[in-house]
């Protein structure tokens, strides 16, 4: 029982360390990489450059299918 709990805790520690490494990399990029900041601004806030065009595509419900009337025998 204790060994299973220890294994779960070790796995959780590894997960948290990996997550921390990803967060450190994001912090580094936010400090040093202007294109990363731009990417986030565009994705999260919908920002665009002057002169760019935005196209908003909406789903259109499918037209009801009309059964063709039968003609002749």
pTM (predicted TM-score): 0.55
Domain residue ranges of the chain, discontinuous segments joined by +: 9-45
**pLDDT value at residue 13:** 98
Residue-wise pLDDT tens digits, 2-57? 899 999 999 999 999 999 999 999 999 999 999 999 999 888 888 888 898 888 88
Long-range residue pairs from 23-30, CB within 8 A, at least 24 positions apart, any chain: none
Q: Is the pLDDT of residue 72 over 90?
A: no
Q: Residue written as tokens 């565009």? A: 42
| Interatomic CA distance for residues 30 and 32, integer angstroms | 6
Q: Confirm if 6 and 12 have CB atoms less than 8 A apart.
A: no
- Confidence (pLDDT) at 66: 61
Structure confidence at residue 60 as a pLDDT band (50, 70, 90): confident
């Amino acid at each position: 029982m204790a060994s299973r709990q220890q294994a779960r805790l070790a796995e959780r520690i590894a997960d948290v360390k990996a997550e921390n490494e990803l967060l450190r990399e994001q912090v580094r990029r936010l400090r040093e990489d202007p294109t990363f900041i731009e990417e986030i601004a565009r994705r999260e806030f919908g920002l665009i450059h002057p002169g760019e065009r935005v196209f908003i595509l909406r789903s259109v419900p499918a037209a009801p299918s009309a059964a063709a009337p039968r003609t002749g025998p």
